[in-house]
Amino acid sequence: MKAVYVSEAGGPEVLEVREVPAPVPGPGEVLIDVVAAGLNRADVQQRRGFYPPPPGASDILGLEVSGRIAGFGSGVSKPFSVGDKVVALLSGGGYAQQVAVPAEQVLRIPDGVDLVTAASLPEVAATVYSNLIMTAQLQPGETVLIHGATGGIGTMAIQLAKAFGATVATTAGTAEKVGTAKAFLHADIAINYTEEDFPESLRAQNGGHGADVILDVVGAKYLGQNIDALADYGRLIVIGLQGGTKAELDLGKLLSKRAAIIGTALRPRPVAEKGVIMNAVRDAVWPLLSDGRIRPLVAKTFPLEQVRAAHEYFDSGDHVGKVLLVM
């Protein structure tokens, strides 16, 4: 089969499509003929040499796929059949024509979503739901601030938070992306972080109230401003480090707000934890997709052989929504 490997740490030019042996499903695993795979920031970080796969995971890039079930390892208890249309959450291996994945991390695609578009869902849906709802315990009527409005995480998080009854604020880096966040994603507040101080702007547009929950993909660069933006008893959930790993923290300000900072990562979690998250996504998020309250947003698709071009486009930051590879 064909699969994508990283020849050495670097830019998109280090990505290579190789012919490699097809995977063999082990005990409890499902074999999937991959139709499409989603690009994620973790793939870029792995390509650059900053985010190696967890022990035992494939060196092939890719954390989410859609496709059809091709076979089973021993002991698979979930009610799947060969040919079922599914999505899967992976620790690696998605940029390939086949992948073997624990059955706990596989779901049938939502009703009303086509098989290619479905590849945009498992990683972002699992990340957003597990962090906003399961970890932060976001409640109807609370205010959530989501950084990176038009990326894969942002587009899902805005829509999911709205569907759960939250007031949604978000940040973006251009007037066009601010407009998209309001017009297409229906964010209540959209802030251009290149022109405005986002904690100040949030309170000015939200009746003086800060964010009860912040979903942050930036990390160190935003730490001080995020603490400023939090409301009393606010929860800052850090899921990415695009802006660095180290920053000074004013503990006095954190204590005065009785606030919390929580760091999470989905990829290294045990299979059992991922299974719990995927079941929750199936029960809570899939119905929202099926009835149209959440719409998957795909910016562009590329054939597998154009994986370098796909990463160049992803790195440009011009995309609104997910970038997909089609096998």
Contact partners, residue 207, CB within 8 Å, separation at least 6: none
Tens-place pLDDT, residues 216-251: 999 999 999 999 999 999 999 999 999 999 999 999
Poorest-confidence range of 76-80, 118-122, 316-320?
A: 76-80
CA gap 283, 131 in Å, rounded:
16
C-beta separation of 203 from 196 below 8 A:
no
DSSP state of 24: -
Task: Indicate whether 99 and 172 sit together in one domain.
Answer: no
Task: Indicate whether 7 and 109 sit together in one domain.
Answer: yes
For position 184, what pLDDT does the model report? 87
Q: In one letter, which amino acid is 210?
A: G
Please check the confidence at residue 98 and state whether its pLDDT lies above 90: yes
CA gap 214, 170 in Å, rounded:
9
Task: Indicate whether 53 and 7 sit together in one domain.
Answer: yes
Q: Select from 263, 278, 306 the last residue of a domain.
A: 263
Task: Indicate whether 104 and 49 sit together in one domain.
Answer: yes
The contacts found for 112-117 with CB under 8 angstroms, 24 or more apart, are 112/289, 112/290, 112/292, 113/289, 113/290, 113/296, 115/35, 115/36, 115/66, 115/67, 115/68, 115/85, 116/35, 116/36, 116/66, 116/298, 116/301, 116/324, 116/326, 117/66, 117/296, 117/298, 117/324
Task: Indicate whether 57 and 170 sit together in one domain.
Answer: no
Tens-place pLDDT, residues 158-202: 999 999 999 999 999 999 999 999 998 999 999 999 999 999 999
Phi–psi pair at 12, nearest 5 degrees: -55, -25
Tens-place pLDDT, residues 100-109: 999 999 999 9
Task: Indicate whether 101 and 203 sit together in one domain.
Answer: no
The CATH number that applies at residue 53 is: 3.90.180.10
Tens-place pLDDT, residues 289-313: 999 999 999 999 999 999 999 999 9
Task: Indicate whether 157 and 240 sit together in one domain.
Answer: yes
For position 78, what pLDDT does the model report? 73
User: How many domains is the chain partitioned into structurally?
Assistant: 2
Radius of gyration of the chain measured on its C-alpha atoms: 19
- Mean of all residue pLDDT scores within the chain: 96
Task: Indicate whether 282 and 234 sit together in one domain.
Answer: no
Task: Indicate whether 130 and 238 sit together in one domain.
Answer: yes
The CATH number that applies at residue 259 is: 3.40.50.720
> Residue 88 is inside which H or E element, if any?
strand 85-89
Task: Determine the structural domain holding residue 285 and report its residue range.
Answer: 2-121+269-326
Tens-place pLDDT, residues 107-150: 999 999 999 999 999 999 999 999 999 999 999 999 999 999 99
Q: Select from 263, 280, 300 the last residue of a domain.
A: 263
Task: Indicate whether 215 and 297 sit together in one domain.
Answer: no
Task: Indicate whether 232 and 322 sit together in one domain.
Answer: no
| pTM summary value | 0.96
